[in-house]
Each structure stands twice: as C-alpha cells, then as structure tokens.
Structure 1
C-alpha cells in the first residue's frame, strides 16, 4: 500500500487510485455513488482526498467480496450519511443469509448421507425392478412403501416437480426409474429435515443437472469452500468497516 498516510495529508485522485490498483475514473465513480465521502476541492476545482477517503475505499473494497457490490455500496452510503445503525443492519442481514446458506448445505449433505445409508441397507432394491416395465424401475406403491410414506405424498411431490415418473403406455400407471427413486429419497430426507417443497425443488434440479449424486458431491465441496471464503471475507470486511467508523468518529 506504500507509505503511511498522515492525518492532514491531501491526495489526488491518482494517488488514491494507485494505492488500490484502480483507475482514477473508478475513484470518482465511487465518490459520486456515495461510497466515498465528498472530496475537497482546490481553488482550481480539482478534487482532493484525505486519509479518511483512503480508509473508506479500503473498507468498501473489503466489503465487496463479503457482501457483494450492491450491499457493500448500500453499507458505505449509510455510513457516509451518518446512518451507522442501518449499515450494521445490512451487515447482519448478510450474516443471516450466510448462516441460512450453511444450513441448506448441511441439509443437503445429510440427505446425501441418508441416501448412501439407504442404498447400503437395501441392496435388494434393484431386484424389485421386475415389477415395472423396465430395468431399475418401480411403481408408486412399492416406492411409497420403501420410503414409508403414502402414495398421495409421491403424487404431491410430482406436482411440485420433485419427481417426474413416466407413464406405462399400456396401463397408464406411474413408473419410477432409478433417477426418480433417487430424487424421491432425496426429497424424503429433506422433508424430514423440515424443508418445504419449494425449497427442495431447486436442490433436486441441481442433482439432475449434475447427472447424479456423485457429481453433486463435488459441487457441494465447492459450495462449502465458497461459504468458508465468504465467511473469512466478512471478518476482513468487518475489521475494515470498524476502522472506518472509528476514524469518522
């Protein structure tokens, strides 16, 4: 970051920009957006900045990876107009969202472990497939029995898009293939965890897009890493924001 700033030091836009790897236009844009306090002006109308502006810029750049650009902008605007409580509320909301994301991740991981245990304890599932018109397929009754739920529940899940059984062309009966059984078991685990159907549907869609549970496990690892990185960024952002609040007085 270069030499330390002194209390009364005046900085040009280019000085502030270079310290943070930005363009001078970006610094001016941040000021106009309310992210930085209003700059001083020379007798000739040129902008001048102070160590307080440098601190504000550091705080904003630390808040972006933690809260996202729009929320970081709202936080800084609130602070700069003297509404510190509003800024802290925005920070709290981001922390609450991160906690909710962690709980969702944990619920999916528990559901996957439950599926693995179910598969290990029911190795004869495939042997029941000859009751339906295709390999590794079953009807609504046997599947409901396996899960310990009513057939009506599976029909409700179908309407919500959690399972997509095909219809036997001769009988019109619902036929659940291997992927449908997997989706039904995952939905069952998540419902037991207290998740609503509208919360489960996007997760089932992720399993389908990943092509099964194994690719999803890798995606969950990436998801966990992103949440951890965001949590650490929140710590850094909080420290920089606190320093800016203290310097503002």
Structure 2
C-alpha cells in the first residue's frame, strides 16, 4: 500500500515501485515512456520522485483497465507534455468506442431475437450467383449484399466452418439455406463485436447442435459484464486523472503556450 507523502518528500525508485507492486525497472520504463514526469536527480545522479510522480503512476494504472495500455500511455504522455486537448481527445475516442461496442452488442441481441426463418421465393428467372434465390435457399451475392459484406468474406467464413452452403446440382453455385443464413448473420454480428473467426466457430457449432441461439446467452452475459467493467474502470481512471491534473496545476489540461 502506498504511504501518504508530505509535500516535498522524496521517494527512491524502489519506494515508488513497491507502493504499486511494480519493479523499479517498470518505474524507469514508465518515466522514459513519458507516463511519469522526468525524475529529479541527486548530486550523485540517482533518480528521486515526489507525490506528483506517485499521482501520475496512480492515474496511469487506473486508466489502463478502461482504455488499454497503449491509449493510457498516450493520455499520460499528452498530459505531461501539456497537450491536454490531445489527452481529452483520446479519452473521448475510448468512450466513443465503448458506446459503439454497446451498440454492437445490442445489434447482436436483436439479431438473435430476430432469427426468424427468412422467406425464400421460387428460383428467380435470373441465373448465376447473383440471382435472388435458388431452390430453398439464397445465392451468395444477395446474402452478401444483405449483410453489407463481400462474397469473398462469405467464402472465407465457409473455409473457417462458420457457414456450410450446399451446391446447386445444376449450376454448382453455393446455396445458403435457413440455417446458413442464420449462422452468417450471427457471424457478421460477432465479428463486429470483435470476436475472431476461431472464437466464433465453436459458438456457431453450439448453435447448430442445439438447433438455436440459446448457447450464445452466456457469451452475451459475459460481453455485458466486460462492457460494464470497462465503463466503471473509465470512471475510476477519470477520477485519478483529475486528481493528478489538480496536483499539476490549473493549466495542465491546456496545450502548451508560448
């Protein structure tokens, strides 16, 4: 546990490191990366830190869970360089990404609720893979257009086992039945949610085995939990960053001035 520092009290690197469960090398690395302000030096050249450095370290470590290591580093570097507007822009981007992720999750949930069989028509007079439908199914072009992706993406998903279209015996074109269209919609939404193909494949396999989307409920609960944890972590990080900004002084949030 970090001890309370009196104004002007000096810390050795090991003191600052131990207070946060870090190595002294990590503290030096953070300083070199601009996460911490430059350390003072003793007459013999040894680094010394103060409550300001301790505040910077607390702010950085609090920012990481919500924003990620790279963005947290960029935020702290911007603050320490006096580029406060840039720090705020980075924070805004993280919040915008979180909002987008929430919207994606909602889209996935809507997709699951709306996995009703899609009406298919009789074979269209148009022939070829861009025809609207084939016997009891849909061709690759219309399905790709519905999802807003390229046909090549559907072929990639097929190689990964996410969809399993059959071939029209007369034309050799891929035909996607109701289950394939359901799986393609789920794959599309989960990809938007940041899932990798190798993560989606077992989920799709579970959906097929169960005959529905119930196995995804646990995944969605976990996704909700991760987004909520990220949002709360952002609040914690904002509080620590504000405390650090106050310690730096009132002009810390403004860009450098001549």
Query: In 2, distance between residues paired with 1:171 and 1:181?
Result: 20
C-alpha separation between the residues in 1 aligned to 2:38 and 2:173? 70
Task: Provide the residue aligned with 1:104 in structure 2.
Answer: 104
The separation in 2 between residues aligned to 1:22 and 1:140, in whole angstroms, is 62
Instruction: State the alpha-carbon separation in 1 of the partners of residues 194 and 49 from structure 2.
Output: 51
2:75 touches 2:90 (CA, 8 Å); kept in 1? yes
Q: Deviations over 1:110-168 (max 9, x none)?
A: 110111xx26xx9xx9xxxxxxxxxxxxx735446xxxxx9962364671534652213
Find the aligned partners of 2:183 and 2:62 in 1 and give their Cα distance: 40
Q: How far is the alpha carbon of 1:183 from its aligned partner?
A: 2.8
Report how far residue 223 of structure 1 moved.
1.5
Structure 1 unpaired stretches of 5+: 126-138, 145-149, 191-197
> Separation in 2 of the partners of 1:102 and 1:152?
29
Distance 1:76-1:220 versus aligned 2 partners, 3 A rule: same
More helix, by proportion: 1
Deviates more, 1:208-217 or 1:77-86: 208-217
| Stretch deviating more after TM superposition (221-230 or 72-81) | 221-230
Check the 8 A contact 1:35/1:76 in 2, yes or no: yes
RMSD over aligned Cα atoms: 3.1
Which piece of structure 1 moves more, 201-210 or 83-92?
Answer: 201-210
Q: Relative to structure 2, which stretch is displaced further, 150-159 or 73-82?
A: 150-159
Task: After TM superposition, list the pairs within 5 Å mapping 1:25-44 onto structure 2.
Answer: 25-44=25-44
Query: SS at 2:214's partner residue?
Result: helix
User: How does the TM-score come out when normalised to structure 2?
Assistant: 0.73
In the aligned structure 2, how far is the partner of 1:201 from the partner of 1:31?
32
Distance apart, 1:181 and its partner CA: 3.5
Identify which of 126, 149, 153 aligns with 2:142.
153
User: Which residue of structure 1 lines up, in the alignment, with residue 183 of structure 2?
Assistant: 183
Q: Which SS does the other structure have where 2:215 is aligned?
A: helix
Query: What is the match of residue 234 of structure 1?
Result: 234
The 3 A distance-change label for structure 1 pair 109 and 205 is farther
Residue 46 of structure 2 aligns with which residue?
46
Q: Distance in 2 between matches of 1:201 and 1:93?
A: 17
Q: Which residue of 1 aligns with 2:134?
A: 140
Q: Note closer, same or farther for the CA distance 1:96–1:143 as it changes in structure 2 (3 Å cut).
A: same
Confirm or deny: 8 A CA contact 1:78 1:87 kept in the other structure: yes
Write the deviation string for residues 12-36 of structure 1: whole angstroms up to 9, x where unpaired.
1111011100011111111111100
3-state SS of paired residue (1:161): helix
C-alpha contact (below 8 Å) 2:104/2:192 kept by paired residues = no
| SS of equivalent to 1:172 | coil
Give the TM-score normalised by structure 1. 0.75
